[in-house]
Amino acid sequence: MAVGITKPLSQTNFDELLEDSTRIHGHVCAGQVIGVRMSMIGLREIGIDDPKGSERKKLYVLVEIDRCATDAIQTVTGCCLGKRSLKWLDYGIMAATFVNLETGKAVRITAREEARELAKKYTPEVEGKYKQQLEAYRVMPEDELFAIEQVAITIPDCDMPGRPMKRVQCQGCGDWVQDCREIEKDGKILCKSCAYGRYYKPL
């Protein structure tokens, strides 16, 4: 899990969060700015101020892209795959949904594509498209940078944080499958590799 700032959000400013995220990600970029701002808005909208402390077990985040912004989201929220508080959906969309597990309140935030062109309006003096976007996204009003929508979401029990609900052995290869990821096919309980084909080739 990414470690860093553990203060409540109300005691932390954007620049501190971006610095922390940049250190963990390895470089500053427009995606880092988007991810930090997206997280700050998402947490605010669902009423969570201390995501790495007293409220850490209330927070669940779904990200729809495996790009720079996701590292920033993980850094700011403290959510991660290993704790099962971060869920990656391979949709290729610069979006994330923030969920308060205690209240059920959820918000989906999407980076607006038109913000790329709007960057010129906010930082005309900056040369280079990517540098311009990096600087503009820091100051652009959130309604121009993001689409923010309140949503309802149901998280399956098998996707919730905590210990695995069950473990079963694949009747094809013998691997053990956790978290209800097994497939029933032709009367057998199989792992996804045996059911659908492997992403690797044994040598």
- Would 4 be classed as within a structural domain? no
Taking the whole predicted model, whether its pTM rises above 0.75 is answered as: yes
Q: Provide, rounded to the nearest whole percent, the portion of the chain with pLDDT above 70.
A: 98
Q: Are 102 and 58 in contact (CB under 8 A)?
A: yes
- Would 45 be classed as within a structural domain? yes
Same domain, yes or no: 75 and 98: yes
- Would 3 be classed as within a structural domain? no
Same domain, yes or no: 84 and 120: yes
Same domain, yes or no: 135 and 192: no
Q: Which residues pair with 100 in a beta bridge?
A: 59
Give pLDDT tens digits for 158-196: 999 999 989 999 999 999 999 999 999 999 999 999 999
Q: How many CB atoms lie within 10 A of CB 1?
A: 14
Same domain, yes or no: 110 and 185: no
| Segment 118-142 mean pLDDT | 91
Report phi then psi at 77, rounded to 5. -85, -25
Report helix angle 115-122 to 129-139, nearest 10: 80
Q: Which two tokens stand for residue 92?
A: 């290729």
Domain that holds residue 186: 167-196
